Amino acid sequence: MLAADGHTVSTYALCTTQTYSSLRQAAQGARYAILPLPLADGDYLNAASGNACTIEELFEAIKGCEIVFAGKVGKKEERLARKLSINLLDYYSREDLQVANAIPTAEGAIELAMRELPVTIWGSDVLVVGYGRVGRILADRLKALGAVVTVAARRSSERVWAEAYGCRAVSVDELAFEIPGMKLVINTVPAQIIGENALRSANPETLFIDLASKPGGIDKKAAQSRGLRIIHALSLPGNVASVTSAAIIKKTIYNMLSEQHIE
């Protein structure tokens, strides 16, 4: 995509192509570096090709770049970047990327539910836990498919918004009462919110999809002890719509450059 826009692009540690055999060779002369989402896998670069180097080795090789873009940058990586005087910007922290990413995340969750459920989405009782970016788009798409959507949200303002868009809304304190009647429960909250008490009376036929980053928002141990089906669906944008996901990151980086008055 970047090459199609007229940019000179060198790559390293990608599955599809590798134009350079060494990281330093790939980084030589580069003005910008674009790193993956998430940036790190422990102390190593999150590289799908398996040709991973340590984050420290990576930063040493690219410290001459004017700006380094990466996704889900941790505190450890931030400290190292400061130590090496690297201008490291996290594109994943941007609101424009988060909102755009919510669309393929919602579509991927629905596709997964359609594949795993023995019934249609239409007419099914569905509980969406959380009403942030993903929760709002997800509830809207499910409702459009004919689901009977209930939204569980902590803040009263979020519950009012859900009701304004035609959903039933409850407090997260009511999860234990709501879950037993659901065919599908989708969690979007990035913290464990569906615990043992909420799962106590859950129907074994209910499908649970957890969209939260590790360790997830559903108590897996409690769910497994009750024979419940949980799918922890991570990185849905890249898995279900890789071209769209790449285009979202590219557009976000262009926005970041524009805001810094860089062409």
**Taking the domains of the chain in order of start, what are their residue ranges?**
23-93, 97-239
Element (DSSP H or E) covering residue 224 = helix 220-225
pLDDT value, residue 219? 95
pLDDT value, residue 27? 84
pLDDT value, residue 263? 60
CB 131 within 8 A of CB 151: yes
For Cα atoms 254, 14, 6, give the angle at the middle one, nearest 5 degrees: 35
Integer Cα distance of 80 and 59 in angstroms: 8
Q: Minimal CA–CA distance to 91: which of 245, 256, 213?
A: 256
What is the 8-class DSSP label of residue 205? T
CA-to-CA dists, residue 253 to 2, 19, 95, 140, 180, angstroms:
11, 22, 12, 28, 44
Integer Cα distance of 138 and 165 in angstroms: 12
Number of H helices, E strands in the chain: 11, 11
**CATH architecture under which domain 97-239 falls:** 3-Layer(aba) Sandwich (3.40)
Integer Cα distance of 190 and 234 in angstroms: 12
Q: Which residues of the chain fall below pLDDT 50?
A: none
Q: Minimal CA–CA distance to 129: which of 22, 202, 37?
A: 202
Q: CB neighbours of 14 closer than 8 A, spacing ≥ 6?
A: 48, 49
Integer Cα distance of 99 and 96 in angstroms: 5
Q: Minimal CA–CA distance to 24: which of 10, 38, 43?
A: 10
Phi-psi category of 104—alpha, beta or left, where left has phi over 0 and alpha has psi -120 to 50? alpha
Biggest CA–CA distance in the chain, Å, is 60
Sheet arrangement for strand 148-153: 168-171, 148-153, 125-129, 184-187, 207-210, 229-232
Integer Cα distance of 205 and 13 in angstroms: 42
